[in-house]
Amino acid sequence: MMKKIFGILLVVVLLATILPSAVVAKSPKTEFDLNGPHFNLNLLGKRDGWNDKEVSNPERHTMFVPMDTSAWNIELKTPNKVVNHGNKVGDNVTSLPGFAIYMTQSGADDFAVIDGTAFDGDPCELDLARGKYWVVVAVKAKPVANAPTIDGWAQIYDIDGALYYYLNLGTVTVSRKWSNATDLFFINTEEASGAITGLPDPGNANDLGMWIFDYFASLDAAEYSDFAYFWQLQNNGSKLIQVRFYPMP
């Protein structure tokens, strides 16, 4: 009898230990199970000059990115204003440090890797399947002294003002543990920085704001154009960064 009771207690303790680790949460309204269905994308770090062949198989789940981005820059269109959470970083900024991974959402049923390598002269590009997603990232190789970081950026051209806005949607430091990067795909009131940009307020629904591609679609085509969304990856030696997209209900 004592063995049976001990066995039951052991199972309860194990469940209490295991189950919380399967859930990543930004807020009570954004919980999800890491064991649930998802799209997996592997960012494989390679040394500069690794291979300049084009990689455009849309069914791939991998991208080849710089293992060291210290010599890489992301060119920005000018004239511009670069804004970070209500603070103007600068005017006519020509570049950001790091490597760009552009993301689009064409309305297709499946994810597609449009450009899978950094070394063909063009940025990497991923087309997201329709819907909204919770997103997590983690380093899945030997950790390095300086962890990689990822920033989400929105590009919007103001037709009347004749300039580009670059809005920072957040930063994630990528570690061995899963980090929630969902924020990088949502724009909120502070990030739209209406006092500086004059952009419409996306609100702060569910503590997240508005899905960035929905926000692009909501803007008046007579006033705004040339939308783009990209990640600014700053890598310091990581050979494998894994990204997972979990569909929201």
pLDDT in tens, 108-123: 999 999 999 998 888 9
The pLDDT of residue 104 is above 90:
yes
Neighbours of 193 (CB within 10 A): 21
pLDDT of residue 249: 87
Question: Cβ distance 167 to 189 under 8 Å?
Answer: no
The pLDDT of residue 198 is above 80:
yes
* Section 146-152 average pLDDT: 95
Confidence bin at 141 (pLDDT 50/70/90)? confident
Question: Cβ distance 234 to 222 under 8 Å?
Answer: no
- Residue 76's nearest CA partner among 228, 234, 235, 236 is 228
pLDDT of residue 145: 79
Mean confidence (pLDDT) of the chain: 86
The pLDDT of residue 217 is above 50:
yes
**Whole-number Å distance between alpha carbons of 19 and 22:** 5
The pLDDT of residue 54 is above 90:
no
Please list, in sequence order, all residues whose beta carbon lies within 8 angstroms of the beta carbon of residue 128, skipping any fewer than 6 positions away.
103, 104, 105, 111, 213, 245
* Section 146-150 average pLDDT: 94
- Residue 91's nearest CA partner among 166, 151, 152, 154 is 166
